[in-house]
Chain A
Amino acid sequence: MTTIDIDHTSRWFGNVVAVNDVTMHIGPGVTGLLGPNGAGKSTLINMMGGFLAPSTGTVTLDGAPIWQNEQVYKQIGVVPEREAMYDFLTGREFVVANAELHGLDDAAAQRALATVEMEYAQDRKISTYSKGMRQRVKMASALVHDPSVLLLDEPFNGMDPRQRMQLMDLLRRMGDDGRTVLFSSHILEEVEQLASHIEVVVAGRHAASGDFRKIRRLMTDRPHRYVVRSSDDRALAAALIADPSTAGIEVDLKEGVLRIQAVDFGRFTELLPQVARENGIRLLTVSPSDESLESVFSYLVAA
């Protein structure tokens, strides 16, 4: 059993704080590192992969520091986000080279290529590969030494749905085997489908941690904002504000709309049509105004 511990770790580049006092513990199973672009996911993964020194705090693998410690790579496999590989090699040559660097033979490389189902194209130059094929060969190069920890930075970027499912199956299997699998993503659905455990980072901070149901609930329970147009805005506003599911309503005369802040998402969605019917008001538009992932995330930071 192998675990990665990030303890009160910060990392800054000049004046920019990329990771701000994060503490997390990544254990066996599949963990999703979720956050919007620029949240510090890659910085965290680079520190876990030993490619970046923490400015403060420690990042350790079973207690041993990862930075400047080549021995950790006997246990860690890394799938970087960047596309660049040794494009002048064939897929097989590339994976064999990775195996050799681990002191392993061609058989290990061949096994890894079979695992990612790339045997059919293994003798083609990497420069001719599609993005999904590259991703799978990168994956094979990371699996070649049968690592107990696998770190993947945005592994599903650029994959078609079938390749995505294949990779998800593979990662799920590895997690079930008791390996520590950590992948980053900015897409909630991806993380939800695959990860049993989720770590959310927003603007360099550790915003939430737990299983996806807990995170989902946090996301659902946040204050929701709606823009509503109706046949009688003031009457509707008066009726809604009487209920505790609504925290505030603004009558926007210029736009001719109501701006409603709901605190109890479930109750509000039931209440709105009910109140309208009882008061004989016609609802013309009901639209959520802050469903962007960024606003969901920023709520999590505050929570």
Chain B
Amino acid sequence: MYNPTVARLTYRALLGRRRALILCGLPVLLIVLSVAVRAFTGLDDKVAADLLGGFALATMVPLIGVIAGTGAIGPEIDDGSIVYLLSKPVKRPTIIMTKLIVAIGVTMAFSAIPTLIAGFILNGNGQQIAVAYTVAALVASIAYSALFLLLGTVSRHAVVFGLVYALIWESLFGSLVSGAKTLSVQQWALSIAEKIAGEGYVDATVALPTAVVLLSVVTVGATVYAGQKLRRLTLAGEE
């Protein structure tokens, strides 16, 4: 279910030029913010939790997920170069699985690691807040990658839809409307962070068992469906 050649091509496409710059932008911003906050307000567990929850997990992780998830396959489908992968005796679900693993790796690297660093800068992992949000970022990376990889497979406007989901649904509705919270990757990840961090610092609205089930269903479902979609992908040519 993993093809090293497909992985290599995907990594190089994802980490090439412009996209790598965008991927670096948000983590750098997070760390700069953390340094500034620590310098101005000093050590404060509540502030640390708010910054990691409000910016790192609510905004940075989904955005990196959009870039890595859709970027792992969308551009190849758009410009037609996917034909070189499809015209090989390689199972299409293997192509999807490989791209998913790469997308997860990239999302984790560019979101979880900066979250951990930021957490240590903010309050030195007091109340386990840095670790809690890092685990949440790792878990969310998996679900976002699967979701946005599927989006990249089915839509030419994957980035736009991804941004709408990440910014409007997750950040806005997810924080305002309680019903939307049940169907939010961010909330599922938070329910795991809640168990790790000290009492009262992380507030999740979804119970852990529900979160685990929903995370698994979304990740597996999106991946299987993307594999099916790629099997039926048609290249209509330029006529």
Contact = CB atoms under 8 A, between A and B. Distances in A.
Interface of A: 13, 18, 37-38, 40-43, 45-46, 49-53, 68, 70-71, 73-74, 76-78, 80-82, 84-86, 88-89, 97-98, 100-103, 141-142, 153
Interface in B218-233: 231-233
Interface residues of B, number: 32
B236 interface: yes
B83 A40 contact: no
B234 A101 contact: no
Contacts of A84: 79-81
A82 B83 contact: yes
A82 B236 CA distance: 11
A47 B98 CA distance: 26
Contacts of B234: 46, 51-53
Nearest to A77: B87
A101 B80 contact: no
Contact of B239 (A40, A68, A71, A80): A40
A42 B239 contact: yes
Interface in B89-128: 89-92
B239 A70 contact: no
A82 B89 contact: no
Given A46-B237, A51-B234, A82 B12 contact: no
Interface stretch (B3-11, B139-147, B194-202): B3-11
Contact of A73 (B89, B236, B238): B89
A100 B8 CA distance: 11
A41 B16 CA distance: 35
Interface string B1-35: 00111101100110011000000000000000000
Q: Pick the most buried of A42, A49, A74, A80: most chain B CB atoms within 10 A of its CB.
A: A80
Most buried by A among B79, B83, B232: B83
A250 to B, nearest CB: 37
B40 interface: no
Contacts of A100: 4-5
B239 A49 contact: no
B236 A46 contact: yes
B232 A81 contact: no
A51 B87 CA distance: 9
Contacts of B92: 70
B235 A68 contact: no
B239 to A, nearest CB: 5
A101 B239 contact: no
Contacts of A68: 231-232
A233 B232 CA distance: 63
Contact of B80 (A38, A41, A80, A103): A80
A214 to B, nearest CB: 26
Give 5 closest A-B pairs by Cβ, nearest first.
A42-B237, A84-B79, A101-B88, A51-B235, A82-B80
A299 B137 CA distance: 66
Contacts of B91: 70
B85 interface: yes
A43 B239 contact: yes
A51 B5 contact: no
A116 B3 CA distance: 27
A46 B83 CA distance: 10
Contacts of A81: 237-238
